[in-house]
Chain A
Amino acid sequence: MVGLLRRSIATRYGAILMLITFGASSALLVFSLYVLQGVYNRVSSVGQDAIEASIVRQVSRDALLLGETLANGLSDPLYLQDFSEIQGILSQLMDRAEIGYIYVYDMDRRILHDGTTDLLSYGEPLGARVPAGLGNHFKPGARPLGQYLHVVYPIKSGSAIQGAVRFSMSYSAAQTDIDKASQQLTKTLGGLRQEVKLILLIGFVLLVLFTLSLSVAVGRCLTRPLKELAARSREFRAHDDRVRFNLEREDEVGELADALEQMRLRVQSSHAEVSRLAFHDPLTGLANRRLLQQELESMLLDCEERGESLAMMFIDLDHFKQVNDGAGHDVGDQVLKVVAARLQQLVVDASLDGVVSGAKPLIARLGGDEFTLVFPLCDSACTDTLAQRVSDLFAEPVSFGGERFSVSASIGVTLYPDDGKTAQDMMRHADIAMYAAKHAGRHQYCFFRQDMTTQLQDHLMVLQGIDEAISESQLFLEFQPIYDLQTNQISGAEALIRWNHPEHGLVPPGRFIPIVEDSDRIEALTLWVMERSCRALHRHILPQMADFKLSLNVSGVALQSDRLRDGILEILLREKVPPRNLRIEITETTMMRNVEKCAETLRHWQHAGLRVLIDDFGTGYSSLSYLTTLPIDGLKVDRSFINNQVPGNYCPVVEAILALSKSLGIQSIAEGVETEYQLQVLREMKATHAQGYLLGRPMALEQLLERLGEVEVG
């Protein structure tokens, strides 16, 4: 009950109303009963008095009348002293029980007759026979005294009074009448009182019942709109968007309803906004990952129902990090917006071309530089065309703020139902395909194949294991000596990283470096190599050979990072290694990707005394102009050119490169020298330095140190 009272306003209100009514009614009832009792007592008392007075008056009147009649009847007999007649008259009265005494007496108040046959009281004085204080004995009167009414009436003969008759009448009969009348009155009044009590009680009960039902009705009436509002709130909560709170009332509940309606509008608006934020990318306005997942599932269902196919493309912008790092995030964001706009335009065009089916394609930005396209297709055969069109979107650089940004994209394509049935599979496979595209050299698209999952596993193994490898010393360095061809002495070495995986054994650098390069772990790896190299230099190598030059491979990606740039210098300083003993090798391809930023970093290093070598020179799209403008100490001729140096096959490229470096006044280091013939040719071409299996395989530091002590190449 308490719980009910606490829960229900209507019940509480009804209970309060009931209590008030019950209290007031009870008080009124008690007061009414009290008043009724008072009225009853007064009416009863007054009524009984009135009855008594009335009956006494009536009895007195009757008695006087009787007295008069008696007196008239006795007149003649008295005159005639006719005692028998008198007795006859009186005896009729004497027979009556209520008569106490009866006397006829003369003017001397002596008894003439007492109604008895013997008449023995004859002549006696009246005074001895009747009570005192009866007043005049010869004047008509009826005086109540004690239990009797004492009546006197004069007996006249003509006008002369000759005596009087006096008698007493008991009140007993009258009293009986009075008692009867009083009892009747009491009974009637009692009945009346009971009736009134009953009516009051019934009225009380009816009032309480009426109030109860009224309070229930009023309570319901009051709470009905509240309940209605609560019900609507529940519906609203259950995402029924048709719900409106307006009740078309002008009272407080109406105000509440209006307020709720306002709140609903606000919530709906906020909900729309939240929903938009939750399911859309704020920057581009495209769907986000969450919406993609939802939509993809429903799109797959639709396709399944219609028997259509669906293409999903994962688009990852190549080297977009460099844009962000180089031009700032604002510019990066603008570039992303342009990309998004191009994708949207493409979708429109593709729809117009009838490539996609009736269902609307979906474009999503998954975060960073990742976009996804989902095309419900009429014919899966046109997927290739479509992928090509997407890839072509990125052919033209993005112009912004007077700058042009070449943004290529690696695109992974997967098909429903051929490659996967679920949204999860589709996304995973598209991701794998995208990585494959990226791995295959970026700026291309790649269709998913089942064997890609193995690559992905490698990829994951690298990404998940590299941090552990760094911290648990699974990595180590090997040093491949570089010979000065003029002195035939070791002039330096190239530090090469090795990963001894606890499960997979020795992991080839070609297998994990590209993966790490594409991730943000490249920084940590670079710094680790830097630190270990410097330590080896400082502690072991330089004490033996002061002008030893150690080459380190630094990814072009790392050149875009100011943090890495400064970190390298810090390690140099910390490990107390002279900058001239260190050379940074940067591949031509990576350097060319963001020339401006790369040049800035190189100049910074140059300023600190570091030297830079262009690795794999001749394989990329080099602009010869930067060779003159950038602080470059040497070129490393790519091993592919050296490999071509076989007897009978002249390779002019090597000679050209060597000539170029000579003319620029910088060193040239031939990589991959594996035969005496190649070495001989290089000597003839005046190459300054060389490295390769012929001269020395990559080796541990201890071996290198040993080699330093003995070296003398013939």
Chain B
Amino acid sequence: MLSRLIPLLLGLALCSGAEARVLVLGQVSEKPGKDYEQLRPMAEYAALQLAPLGITSAEVRLYPQAADLAAAMRRGEVDWVSETPYTAARLVHEAGARLLLRKWKNGQRDYQAIIYTRADSPVYSLADLVGRTITFEHADSFSSYYLPRQLLENQGMALSPMLDMHQSPVPGRVNYIFSRNERNNAHWVHKSLIVAGALNNNDWENPARVPAALRDELRIIFRSASYPRALELVSATLEPELMTALQYLLQRMTPESAPDVLARYEHTTGFEPILPDDMQLLNDIYQSSRAW
């Protein structure tokens, strides 16, 4: 395979006229310091590997909002993005980003949304949540906001955001509030401040996110279907040769061949090709989010 690739790469190099170019890797980040360190080794590795194609160096750019990242992609400032399906949906629709590969972030190929309540709660089904409160993690969260909200709405329930915790729930509606992180989510439910919470199954099972003592007193009332954990996207403007070369490069990386780079890259254990339903999923997500 390498014998076929090398003439290809050489051909690309010759055709492109060896134009000097910087490869830019982007992401939405609330913790830029941490995320930069996670992304940089992979960006530099890729740039080094793609040097024959004119890539001279790599750059990591982080954006506070998905909208900012989308805008940057539209402007052609970002070549390559690693995101959750929810953000990926926006980038595909708003910036014309193209799906490159599925990423096994944190060793997880996919995940599902979980809705839970206190064990002693009278709530046993999603329908019991009407007139009660639920806490999602974050407005950008796929597993802890998009998926559960879509589930609730698909079942015909109307959701109403709460301004703060002290506000009384609106009757006939499912009142929701963002907990900002998994732990608050669990505590609020556990302390009976909020009736139910939504988390992905990985966080639920992680004692650092949901302490075991708390989980013992909580009860799952609903689990969603599984969704890809993360996606690799490239901008609409990225040269096809570079896109192909990057896709090929990433797909070939395994924990054995490039352990350090992968581990640093959000504990990734591997990449796999985009599945046929994946684009539909993104379209659904985007359509739903547009309605909220």
A positions within 8 Å CB-CB of B: 79-85, 87, 117-120, 122-123
Closest CB of chain A to B203's CB: distance in Å? 12
Across the interface, do B184 and A84 meet the contact criterion of CB distance under 8 Å? yes
B193 contacts partner chain A, Cβ-Cβ < 8 Å: yes
Give the CA-CA distance A509 to B193 in the complex, in Å: 183
> A80 to chain B: which residues have CB within 8 Å?
164-165, 180
Q: Is the CB of B180 within 8 A of A82?
A: yes
Shortest Cβ distance from A81 into B: residue: B165
B187 partner residues in chain A, CB cutoff 8 A: 83-84, 119, 122
Q: Are A84 and B181 in contact (CB under 8 A)?
A: yes
Q: Is the CB of A82 within 8 A of B213?
A: no
Q: Are B213 and A83 in contact (CB under 8 A)?
A: no
User: Interface digits, B175-194 against A, CB 8 Å rule (1 contact, 0 not)?
Assistant: 00000110110011011010
Shortest C-beta distance, A264 to chain B (Å), equals 116
Contact B188 A81 (CB under 8 A): yes
Bound CA span A82–B164, Å: 12
- Given A80-B164, A85-B180, A85-B184, 12 other A-B residues pairs in contact with their CB atoms under 8 A: A80-B180, A81-B184, A81-B193, A83-B184, A84-B180, A84-B181, A84-B184, A84-B187, A87-B183, A117-B211, A122-B187, A123-B191
- Using Cβ atoms and an 8 Å threshold, which residues of chain B touch A123? 191
Question: With A81-B193, A84-B183 in contact, is A118–B188 under 8 Å at CB?
Answer: no
Does B214 sit at the interface, judged by CB under 8 A? yes
Which residue on B lies nearest to A117, using beta carbons?
B211
Which chain A positions have C-beta within 8 A of B211?
A: 117-118
Most chain-B CB neighbours within 10 Å: which of A79, A85, A119, A123? A119
Within 8 A of A (CB), among B98-121: none
Which interface residue of A82, A83, A87 has the most chain B CB atoms within 10 A? A83
B contacts, CB < 8 Å to A: 164-165, 180-181, 183-184, 187-188, 190-191, 193, 211, 213-214
Measured CA separation A84–B210 after assembly (Å): 11
Is there contact, CB below 8 Å, between B214 and A118?
yes
Q: Given A117-B211, A118-B213, A120-B213, check contact A83 B183 (CB 8 Å).
A: yes
Distance A83 CA – B184 CA, assembled complex (angstroms): 5
Question: Which residues of B have CB within 8 Å of A117?
Answer: 183, 211
Q: How far is the CA of A85 from the CA of B181 in the complex (A)?
A: 9
- State how many angstroms separate the Cβ of B186 from the closest Cβ of chain A: 9
Q: Which residues of B contact A87 (CB under 8 A)?
A: 183
B188 partner residues in chain A, CB cutoff 8 A = 81, 83
Q: How far is the CA of A84 from the CA of B190 in the complex (A)?
A: 13
Whole-angstrom distance between the alpha carbons of A580 and B109 in the complex? 203
Contact in complex: B191, A122 (CB < 8 Å): yes
Tally of A-B residue pairs with Cβ under 8 A? 36
CA distance A83 to B193 in the complex (A): 12
Taken together as a complex, chains A and B put the C-alpha atoms of A82 and B211 apart, in Å, by 16
A227 to B132, CA, bound (A): 126
Chain A CB within 10 Å, residue with most, of B183, B187, B193, B211: B187
With a cutoff of 8 Å between Cβ atoms, the chain A residues found around residue B164 in the complex are 79-80
Least CB distance from B30 to A in Å reads: 13
CB distance from B164 to the nearest CB of A (A): 8
| 22 cross-chain CB contacts under 8 A | A80-B164, A80-B165, A81-B188, A81-B193, A82-B180, A83-B183, A83-B188, A83-B191, A84-B180, A84-B181, A84-B183, A84-B184, A84-B187, A117-B183, A118-B211, A118-B213, A118-B214, A119-B187, A119-B190, A119-B214, A120-B213, A123-B191
Which of A87, A117, A119 gathers the greatest number of chain B CB atoms within 10 Å? Answer: A117
In angstroms, how far is the closest chain A Cβ from the Cβ of B68? 24
* Nearest CB in chain A to that of B194: its residue: A81
Knowing A117-B211, A118-B213 touch, does A82 contact B184 (C-beta < 8 A)? Answer: yes
- Closest chain-A Cβ to B63's Cβ sits at a distance in Å of 23
Residue of B nearest to A118 (CB): B213
- Cβ distance A87 to chain B, nearest Cβ, rounded Å: 7
Chain B residue, CB-CB nearest to A79: B164
In the complex, what's the smallest C-beta–C-beta distance from B141 to chain A, in angstroms?
15
User: What CA separation (Å) do A85 and B165 show in the bound complex?
Assistant: 16
Once the chains are docked, how many angstroms separate the CA of A543 from the CA of B193?
Answer: 196
Contact residues in A for B190 (Cβ distance below 8 Å): 119
Q: How far is the CB of B285 from chain A (nearest CB, A)?
A: 27
Contact partners of B191 in chain A: CB under 8 A: 83, 119, 122-123
For the complex formed, measure the closest distance between the CB of A245 and the CB atoms of chain B, giving whole angstroms.
110
Question: A85 to chain B: which residues have CB within 8 Å?
Answer: 180, 184
Task: Give min CB distance, B163 to chain A, whole Å.
Answer: 11
A80 and B180 CA atoms in complex are apart in Å by: 10
Nearest chain B CB to A76's CB is how many angstroms away? Answer: 11
Q: Which residues of A contact B213 (CB under 8 A)?
A: 118, 120
| Closest beta carbon of chain B to A105's beta carbon, Å | 14
User: Which chain A residues lie closer than 8 Å to B183 at the CB level?
Assistant: 83-84, 87, 117
B255 to chain A, nearest CB (A): 30
- Across the A-B interface, give the 5 residue pairs with the lowest CB-CB distance, nearest first: A84-B183, A83-B187, A118-B213, A118-B211, A117-B211
Identify the interface centre among B183, B211, B214: most chain A CB within 10 Å of its CB: B183
What CA separation (Å) do A83 and B183 show in the bound complex?
7
The residue among B181, B184, B193 with the most chain A CB atoms within 10 A of its own CB is B184
Complex contacts, B214 vs chain A, CB 8 Å: 118-119
Cα(A65)–Cα(B191), bound, Å: 31
In the complex, how many angstroms separate the beta carbon of A325 from the nearest chain B beta carbon?
Answer: 161
Chain B residues near A119 (CB-CB < 8 A): 187, 190-191, 214
Distance (whole angstroms) from the CB of B239 to the closest CB of chain A = 43
Q: Please, how many angstroms separate the alpha-carbon atoms of A122 and B186 in the complex?
A: 13
For residue B193, which residues in chain A have a CB less than 8 angstroms away from its CB? 81
In the complex, how many angstroms separate the beta carbon of A88 from the nearest chain B beta carbon? 9
Contact residues in A for B165 (Cβ distance below 8 Å): 80-81
User: Which single residue of chain B is at the shortest CB-CB distance from A122?
Assistant: B191
Q: How far is the CB of B95 from chain A (nearest CB, A)?
A: 32
Closest chain A residue to B185, Cβ basis:
A84
Nearest A residue (CB) for B182: A84
A85 to B214, CA, bound (A): 17
- Complex formed: what's the CA distance from A85 to B211 in Å? 15
A84 to B164, CA, bound (A): 17
Contacts of A82 in B (CB 8 A): 180, 184
CB neighbours (8 Å) of B181 from chain A are: 84
- Chain B residues contacting A79 (CB-CB under 8 Å) are 164
Q: CA of A79 to CA of B165 in the docked complex: distance in angstroms?
A: 9
* Complex: A118 Cα to B210 Cα, angstroms: 9
In the assembled complex, the CB of B217 is this many whole angstroms from the nearest CB of chain A, namely: 10
With a cutoff of 8 Å between Cβ atoms, the chain B residues found around residue A81 in the complex are: 165, 184, 188, 193
Taken together as a complex, chains A and B put the C-alpha atoms of A119 and B191 apart, in Å, by 9
Q: Report chain B residues within 8 Å CB of A118.
A: 211, 213-214
> From B214, which residue of chain A is reached at the shortest CB distance?
A118
Q: What residues of B have a CB within 8 angstroms of the CB of A84 in the complex? A: 180-181, 183-184, 187
CB distance from B16 to the nearest CB of A (A): 49
Shortest CB distance B187–A (Å): 4
A501 vs B190: C-alpha distance when bound (angstroms): 174
Per the bound structure, the CA–CA distance linking A69 and B165 in Å amounts to 25
A85 to B180, CA, bound (A): 10
- The minimal Cβ–Cβ distance linking A111 to chain B, given in whole angstroms, is 11
A73 to chain B, nearest CB (A): 16
With the chains together, A119 CA to B213 CA distance in Å? 9
Question: In the bound complex, what is the Cα–Cα distance between A81 and B165 (angstroms)?
Answer: 8
- Complexed CA–CA distance, A118 and B183 (Å): 10
**Docked CA distance A277–B188 (Å):** 146
| Residues of B with C-beta under 8 A to A83 | 183-184, 187-188, 191
